[in-house]
Amino acid sequence: MNEFVYSPEIDEFLLQTGMHPDLTDMNYQTDRFRREMRLGLTAASSSLPMLPTYLTTDGKLPAGKPVLVIDMGGTNLRLARVVFHPLGDFEVEALAACPMPGSKAAITLDEYLARMVEILRPHLTDDDLIGYCFSYEARITPDHDGILANFNKGVHVEGSDGMKVCERLEAALVRAGVPGTRRWVLLNDSTAAACGALSHLAESGCEGPVGFILGTGTNTCYPERTARISRYPVEDDGGTMLINMESGAYSAFPRGEADRLLDEKDLLPGNHLYEKMVGGVYLGRLVWLTAVSAAERGLFSPAMKERLAQTAAFRSVDVDCFVRDPEGDNRLAGICASESDRTALLTVIHRLYERAAKLVCVNLTAVLEEAGLGKDPAHPALIAAEGSSFWKSSLFLPMLSGFIKVFTETERGISYRITQVPDANLIGSAAAALLNA
């Protein structure tokens, strides 16, 4: 899918260790993903939670009502205040940004709540409507709160599993003597991405929208008919509800040697297996683990093998710097001891990103087909995509676009459009709060 000349020795190694993209049968995996989606809507035996959001996208956004938005986007936290205007435009006032509590080191639940109170207190008013974009696995409740399954994406808060997210934080604010009346609407980032793109539907004539996140981790949200949901207490009103798939938890993709090694070393082994194959916090580590394993089999020079043994795991940003300038002044270029080392490492990187693009294409194709979106070329499905790994990677988006064009559009007959909405998490969270509080 590009002009890069791959190392045949590395390709053979990747096939032998189960890490090569050619091992992904896209038609088979799409059909399997769809089956898992249906199970997730009707039974507890699926790795896809398929969580109801209890959120509607119907109605008109009221103008002039400020909404405080908390955006927990993986390893970072943002606060903003959003106001919509009568003509449909909006203002976003950035209030604060900081690392997510528990992203630097594991903390206790009490420490987490105390830190959240410290962050929120300066920005709360007497009467706050809060759109809470919570990018971790949580079962949303009909009162627009959520029960946390677990933090992930490199965030570790001991004793937090099973807490009611808004209720617990509200109780901490009250205990800390923070005055005011607060109304909370909890949603995840993929739901916020979908809600943030609502205005694009009428403008573009598209169907959907589907919200897709690929940043630190990955997730998907799409509109589902309530008649198809029986696993959860959802009233069949003949309409649709946004479903938070928690698609990063999908476990049926075939995994290879480096996938298993990464999972074994993770603080939550067996958790979010698909996310560990494509998420930005993981791809750099996968490249490093694969390169170390290849070096142990004699596929890199002795000098590079020694350097790899002495270096810490790669980050995705390191990988992208190397791809942009393989002979430049960057960390991975400095590890390579020869031109053949450079070609071998680039082959590892290209193939793992190609595999990630294939898996994401399967994810999106399965969702569009299962939702019945994009069947009419005059009304393509709208995918609202967010996340730095999606938009900023040198390799990922060109590879994904190629797979979607050939597989999703040509082979499976689905019309689509991918869009990026500026500040989608903030805008979508505010819109969801205004329409559902």
| Structural domains in the chain plus CATH codes | 67-191+425-436 (3.30.420.40)
32: confidence class by pLDDT, cuts 50, 70, 90: very high
Tokens in use for 58?
A: 């119907």
Give the C-alpha separation, 412 to 399, whole Å. 18
More confident residue, 152 or 323: 323
To 10 degrees, what angle do helices 8-16 and 339-371 make? Answer: 50
Tokens in use for 277?
A: 């194959």
Give the C-alpha separation, 172 to 176, whole Å. 6
Q: What percent of the chain has pLDDT over 70?
A: 98
pLDDT tens digits, one per residue of 147-178? 998 887 788 999 999 999 999 999 999 999 99
Predicted TM-score of the model (pTM): 0.86
Q: What does the pLDDT read at residue 202?
A: 65
Picking from 200, 266, 232, the residue whose alpha carbon sits closest to that of residue 431 is 200
- 15-47 burial, b if ≥16 CB within 10 A, otherwise e? eebebbbeebebeebbebbbebbebbbeeeebb
Q: Where are the beta strands (DSSP E) in 380-425?
A: 381-386, 416-419
Picking from 41, 375, 53, the residue whose alpha carbon sits closest to that of residue 207 is 375
- 188-210 burial, b if ≥16 CB within 10 A, otherwise e? bbbbbbbbbbbbbbeeeebbbbb
Picking from 114, 120, 122, the residue whose alpha carbon sits closest to that of residue 132 is 120
Give the C-alpha separation, 46 to 383, whole Å. 24
Is the pLDDT at 184 greater than 60? The verdict is: yes
Distance between start and end Cα atoms, the chain: 47
Give the C-alpha separation, 201 to 412, whole Å. 23
CA angle 384, 192, 370 (to 5 degrees): 55
Sequence-distant (6+) residues with CB within 8 A of 225 are 239, 240
Q: What does the pLDDT read at residue 333?
A: 97
Give residue 348's identity as a one-letter amino acid code: V
2: confidence class by pLDDT, cuts 50, 70, 90: low
Is the pLDDT at 25 greater than 50? The verdict is: yes
DSSP state letter for 404: I
Give residue 342's identity as a one-letter amino acid code: R
Tokens in use for 393?
A: 């990677």
74: confidence class by pLDDT, cuts 50, 70, 90: low
Tokens in use for 211?
A: 């919200």
Give residue 312's identity as a one-letter amino acid code: A
Mean pLDDT, to the nearest integer, of 198-222?
Answer: 86
Q: What does the pLDDT read at residue 1?
A: 44
Is the pLDDT at 304 greater than 80? The verdict is: yes
Give the C-alpha separation, 277 to 259, whole Å. 7
Q: What is the mean pLDDT of the chain?
A: 93
Alpha carbon 224 to its chain centroid, in Å, reads 19
> Among 108-117, 137-146, 192-201, whose mean pLDDT is lowest?
192-201
Contacts of residues 7-10 at CB distance under 8 Å and 24 or more positions apart, as own/partner, are: 7/299, 7/340, 7/343, 7/344, 7/347, 9/299, 9/344, 10/294, 10/299, 10/344, 10/347, 10/348, 10/351
